[in-house]
Structure 1
Amino acid sequence: MKETVEIVPKTDEKPEVDLAFWEQNGYYVLPKFLSDEQVDAIVNETEEAWKNRRDDIVADNQIYSPTQKRVRNYLDRLSEEERTERYVMNDLFLVSDPVRSVSLDPKLVHVLRELLGTEPVLCQSLNFKWGSGQGMHQDTLYLPPPNERDMIAIWVALEDIHPDSGPLRYMPGSHNIPVYRFSNGKIRVIPGEVSGWDDHIAQHTEQMGLQEQVNHAKKGDVFIWHAFLLHGGSPIQNWDLTRKSLVCHYYSKSDLESVGGASQFDHGGYWWPRSPQLPR
């Protein structure tokens, strides 16, 4: 598997953006884009939230939960047994200024705006301590934007990522695979019809000669991907290793307004001050 091709931004206030690379590959890398201070503030925020059992933050146990029972609840409502599992914190951006300051960093928002082609709005965040263990997928299966292609996402390395911790993997060019529609004509996944999506993706990745790559990220790197880019977590080889990261998804501002959402400006961009996801 090939390593990530890095696009190095200039150090001025508004980095130049290679749109041709983006359109061809569907991803973009900003190496060492964030300072250690910015990154450490997010790590400290998550650790304090978990330690203090915050009552305004919702978390999900991860896919490889030993009990195979999916749990979503506020941190203060998790039982002692449930707290032994590995969790991802949902939407910390709603209550955390350090998360918003990073995800709405003016230079980052500039890049996202150029790539998306319109004003982005932060609509979701996920804080991981461990590798996701998630198979290759498109975000549109679970978080379809109102305008199908008007979504962009980032993955921020909050530490140097060890190769055995399950690094982010992705498939350049896969955002150009023809859109698969389920029986209702929509792109949101219907669980009983996943095999059709699997066959569609396998057929087109072979026809297009697409190959998987791995993001060997360093602390402060930002990986950006298109809504339809295939990506996931590499197999975890050492379960004792952490893979601390922040994932953020952005709708277009016009999309959010089309569904009645109101955005708020902070730092260098817009975010959606909505309610957290409800416990299961």
Structure 2
Amino acid sequence: MFGFFKKREAATPAPANSDADASPKVPRAADSPLGELWIDQNNALDQADRLGLDALAAADLRQFISQGYLVIPGAISEALADQIVADAHRVRSNPGDYVVRDKGAYINPAHIEEFHLGHRIIDLYAVSAAAREAVFTPRASRLLNLIFGEPALAIQSLYFEYGSQQAVHQDTAYVVSRKPLALAAIWIALEDVQPGTGELCYYPGGHRLPHDLFGGTRKHWIQSQDGVEEHQRYLKSLRERSEAAGLTLETFLPKKGDVLLWHADLPHGGTRISTLHTRRSYVLHFAPKSVKANYMSRIGADYHEHLMPTGDGFSCRHYALAKMRPDGRAPILFDGGISRR
């Protein structure tokens, strides 16, 4: 059975700045079993107003708190977007550098002659300097640092050639963490998105719906414990509860270079695909640097974080980032067993 409860009121307000020139004293994540961030507390907008931010940063933060997402037009250049696509397409000439999945299963990149609907290139940032450059743009990095209260760590990424046509869901149901709500995502448009290509859709404000817990305790679905029927119930319930709350499903038709950031619990998915036109995009999930990803313990001594000048960084399960070569590519650490078949 699912469990339900409201998100908690903040126990104390955010501290005000004592020096107008100092960095904002952003609250740390709340001490809760679900790892709720300070932005999830009922008085988060009041806390945000006391941070002394410039007008743009303040507007971005208020939008994210109230609606659960933020769109940044033209966050990366068209040239950078084109380079990311070119680096992804290099999988056909250098398959040994890449990790690819198809509808949840690892596949041999050497078999990719043309991209199919289910193909996802995993952790492209480990083999593409352009993919790394596109992530922590100033405005996006600023927002991530504000909501986390510390630098952000990209813990996984997916490159899509085509739309996903995915049911409306919350990332917390699938991205597993010891602090489920200490999570955020970014979607980068690598071309102008056309209607009918499985464009992204979401329920603004849906991140503040009451929690829906698997087994009464977990945000994430475990198939062996919960079963497929419970998963289908969760997806159906999420749509019904969003609509019952008066939320309206919106679609995202960005231009090349636009970026969408969203909250861990924002209900979102991919619309029905009616045309086989591409929908090239690059999606990443983030955690605060102090939280990291669950796979850190599985990797052990091979775990490494590749840090950027901003203080933000990257980690991943699939590549040995500590052994990144001068050409900006890291060797594969785990490819789902493809290399041993």
Alignment of 1:212-231 (within 5 A): 212-231=249-268
Once the 2 structures are TM-superposed, how far is the Cα of residue 57 of structure 1 from its aligned partner? 1.3
Return the index of the structure with the highest Cα Rg.
2
2:183 is aligned, of 134, 151, 173, to 151
- Residue 252 of structure 2 is aligned to residue 243 of structure 1: no
In the other structure, the counterpart of 2:107 is: 73
Distance change >3 Å, CA 182–CA 128, structure 1 → 2:
same
> Which secondary structure state, in structure 1, belongs to the residue aligned with residue 261 of structure 2?
strand
Q: Provide TM-score, normalisation by structure 2.
A: 0.69
Once the 2 structures are TM-superposed, how far is the Cα of residue 112 of structure 1 from its aligned partner? 1.8
Would you say the 8 A contact 2:155–2:293 is kept in 1? no
Supply the AA of the counterpart residue of 2:287: Y
Distance change >3 Å, CA 166–CA 16, structure 1 → 2:
same
In the other structure, the counterpart of 1:54 is: 95
Query: Whose strand proportion is higher, 1 or 2?
Result: 1
> Which secondary structure state, in structure 1, belongs to the residue aligned with residue 97 of structure 2?
coil
In the alignment, structure 1 segments of 5+ residues that lack a partner are 1-12, 63-69
**What percent identity do the matched residue pairs reach?**
29
Would you say the 8 A contact 2:71–2:260 is kept in 1? yes
Distance change >3 Å, CA 161–CA 154, structure 1 → 2:
same
Q: In structure 1, how many angstroms separate the alpha carbons of the residues matched to 2:293 and 2:218? A: 21
Once the 2 structures are TM-superposed, how far is the Cα of residue 38 of structure 1 from its aligned partner? 1.3
Distance change >3 Å, CA 58–CA 14, structure 1 → 2:
farther
Distance change >3 Å, CA 182–CA 220, structure 1 → 2:
same
Would you say the 8 A contact 1:17–1:111 is kept in 2? no
Alignment of 1:78-117 (within 5 A): 78=111, 85-86=116-117, 87-117=119-149
Q: In structure 2, how many angstroms separate the alpha carbons of the residues matched to 1:59 and 1:257? A: 20
Q: In structure 1, how many angstroms separate the alpha carbons of the residues matched to 2:138 and 2:69? A: 19
Q: Provide TM-score, normalisation by structure 1.
A: 0.82
Alignment of 1:154-165 (within 5 A): 154-165=186-197
> Which secondary structure state, in structure 1, belongs to the residue aligned with residue 290 of structure 2?
helix
In the alignment, structure 2 segments of 5+ residues that lack a partner are 1-53, 298-302, 320-333
Would you say the 8 A contact 2:167–2:235 is kept in 1? no
Would you say the 8 A contact 2:201–2:271 is kept in 1? yes
Once the 2 structures are TM-superposed, how far is the Cα of residue 266 of structure 1 from its aligned partner? 2.0
Supply the AA of the counterpart residue of 2:336: P
Equivalent pairs counted in the alignment come to: 256
Q: In structure 2, how many angstroms separate the alpha carbons of the residues matched to 1:61 and 1:73? A: 7
